[in-house]
Amino acid sequence: MDILLDTCGRRRVKSLLMMYLFVVNAAAECPKPHEWENMVLTNEALLLNEFPEGSEVTVECGNGYIKESGTGIVNCINGNWNNPDLNCKKTDCGHPKPQPNMSFNTSGGTLFGAVIKVFCDKGYQLSGSSYKRCYATGWFGRSNCKIVTCAKPGEIDNGRNNWVSEDRPKYGEIIQYVCNDGYSRVGTDKIACNEIGQYDFPPPECKSGRVILTAEDKATTTSVTPTTSFQDGHDEIVDINKNNGHIILAVTLAFIFVLVGLGLILYRFLLKRKGSYDTREDLKPELLQFQNL
């Protein structure tokens, strides 16, 4: 019986040992390494097919990220990969290269993945992309700021403008109109190309009117024309006339004051000459009695 048991026991131990070895052998192999956030396997690691217990692979920072610290070595321990000691941070595209008449809103940062808005200065128009995106290779998105232009200035009857160029006038440029001899201008003589590509005023008209004006008419028209025939936008001319009105009023008032002042001085002078009793006491009622005596 003892011998029998012994053989039975040995067999059991043997099979247990076999099972143990099998389990350990199975655990001694790591799975194909997965990838960790913002990290990728090195090419060498990608070429490996077997990952026995104790083996190591190296990971590096992924696209758009750079190493901040660590080695990137990952070990197969007890059939599992430990976590890499690598720290990766986003690359920084920095401030975009300055371009003429262009600005950027970088309040959202300039790190990998950031999107910034592109602006043009007043009077400049954006062409291309209105945003730039930070990629691993740098900013992506082409934009340009081109100066706004206006249509070539219109021709007018009985007058001309000073625009001789074949090009379109640009933002801020001013075109001047003059009327031919014998014609008077109605409207502004200067028109400017504004930031939205339009002129601030319509071109003036040249009317045959001056010839019939007499000297007297001229005197009146200088003050009347701005309010009647000039359209809005000619505040300056209207203002000047308003100011003239004020000046006339002020001068008249000053004249009146001077006259009144002179009158008073004259009056007091005459009173003094009349007698020496100009002490103003004559106005007091109790003294009036004595005066009447």
Binding residues (CB under 6 A) for ligand NAG: these are: 105, 107-108
Alpha-carbon distance 84 to 74, whole Å? Answer: 5
The two structure tokens encoding residue 272: 């003094």
- Which residue number, 122 or 268, has a Cβ lying nearer to ligand NAG? 122
We find the least distance from the C-beta atom of residue 101 to ligand NAG, in angstroms, to be: 16
Closest residue to ligand NAG, based on beta-carbon distance: 105
Distances from the Cα of 284 to the Cαs of 124, 125, 280, 289, in angstroms?
83, 85, 8, 10
Q: How near is the Cβ of 137 to ligand NAG at its closest, in Å?
A: 23
Vertex 125: Cα angle to 168 and 129 (nearest 5): 135
Q: Which residue lies nearer to ligand NAG by CB, 108 or 245? A: 108
Distance CA 29, CA 103 (A): 57
Give 119 or 230: the residue with its C-beta nearer to ligand NAG: 119
Nearer to ligand NAG by Cβ, of 62 and 109: the residue is 109
Q: How far is the CB of 109 from ligand NAG (least distance, A)?
A: 9
Give 108 or 138: the residue with its C-beta nearer to ligand NAG: 108
Decide whether 108 or 233 has the Cβ nearer to ligand NAG: 108
Q: How far is the CB of 100 from ligand NAG (least distance, A)?
A: 19
Distance between CA atoms of 263 and 257, rounded to whole angstroms?
10
Give dist(CA 166, CA 111) in Å, integer.
46
Are the beta carbons of 163 and 173 closer than 8 angstroms? no
| Cβ count within 10 A of residue 57 | 21
Q: Which is nearer to ligand NAG, 107 or 289 (CB)?
A: 107
Q: How far is the CB of 126 from ligand NAG (least distance, A)?
A: 14
**DSSP assignment string, 81-128:** EPPP--EEEE-B--SPPP-TTEEEE-TT-SBTT-EEEEEE-TTEEEEE
Are 179 and 227 spatial neighbours (Cβ–Cβ below 8 Å)?
no
**Min dist. Cβ of residue 110 to ligand NAG (A):** 12
Residue 118 phi/psi, 5-degree rounding, is: -105, 135
CB of 197 to ligand NAG, least distance (A): 23
Least gap, CB of 107 to ligand NAG (angstroms): 4
| Residue in the block written with tokens 């997965």 | 34
| Partners of residue 105 on adjacent β-strands | 117
Residue 110 vs 188, nearer CB to ligand NAG:
110
Of 152, 204, 197, residue with least CA distance to 180: 204
